[in-house]
């Protein structure tokens, strides 16, 4: 089935604003970035853990967070896809296996879950708008 979509400011939308394409493309690009980062870490042991964590945050989590306020109200299965990227990023940083529990690791990294990140971004945007702290545009 052919669906039409558009990209505006890096956010992919379709005719019914389901955000399915945006989540799919974000998921794919984040996992590709994680694979590249893992290969760098394996091939060169000169990358310290703190530098590797900074790279993951800068290249993966920032991509997840970009435009996430538009993801408010998306279905749970789409949130699970975004959460799986975060879980893989946390496992990559800490060296956990896929079968290990991730909740404590996310807490130790001070990372919110994907649904909580969306709610936090929405709440801070509303707060800034109400208190005149948002950009004038």
3-state SS class at 7: strand
Flag whether 137 is in a domain: no
49-56 vs 20-43: helix axis angle to the nearest 10? 160
Flag whether 118 is in a domain: yes
Flag whether 135 is in a domain: no
CB atoms within 10 A of CB 109: 17
Cβ atoms of 40 and 47 within 8 Å: the answer is yes
Number of domains in the chain: 1
* 85 alpha-carbon distance from chain centroid: 7
pLDDT digits (tens, 9 = 90+) for 86-132: 999 999 999 899 889 999 999 999 999 999 999 999 999 999 999 99
Flag whether 115 is in a domain: yes
Flag whether 66 is in a domain: yes
Q: What is the pLDDT of residue 21?
A: 84
3-state SS class at 41: helix
Flag whether 96 is in a domain: yes
- Residue 71 per-residue DSSP state: G
Q: What is the pLDDT of residue 44?
A: 61
- Side-chain half-sphere CA neighbours of 2 within 13 A: 0
Flag whether 125 is in a domain: yes
Give the integer Cα–Cα distance in Å for 115 and 48. 30
* Res 51 pLDDT > 70: yes
Cβ atoms of 115 and 79 within 8 Å: the answer is yes
**Predicted confidence band at 2 (pLDDT cuts at 50, 70, 90)?**
low
pTM recorded for the entire structure: 0.85
Flag whether 136 is in a domain: no
The residue with tokens 């005719």 is 15
Give the integer Cα–Cα distance in Å for 40 and 85. 18
pLDDT digits (tens, 9 = 90+) for 10-25: 777 776 677 888 888 8
Determine the average pLDDT of the residues in 28-51: 85
* Domain limits for position 103: 5-130
Highest mean pLDDT among 1-5, 38-42, 114-118: 114-118
């Amino acid at each position: 089935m052919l669906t039409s979509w558009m990209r505006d400011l890096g956010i992919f939308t379709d005719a019914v604003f389901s955000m399915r394409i945006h989540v799919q493309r974000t998921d794919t690009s984040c996992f590709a970035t994680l694979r590249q980062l893992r290969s760098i870490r394996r091939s060169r042991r000169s990358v310290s853990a703190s530098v590797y964590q900074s790279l993951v945050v800068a290249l993966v989590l920032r991509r997840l967070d970009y435009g996430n306020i538009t993801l408010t109200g998306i279905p749970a299965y789409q949130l699970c896809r975004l959460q799986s990227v975060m879980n893989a990023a946390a496992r990559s940083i800490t060296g956990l296996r896929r079968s290990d529990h991730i909740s404590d690791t996310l807490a130790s990294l001070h990372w919110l879950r994907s649904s909580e990140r969306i709610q936090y971004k929405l709440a801070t945007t509303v707060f800034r708008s109400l208190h005149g702290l948002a950009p004038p545009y």
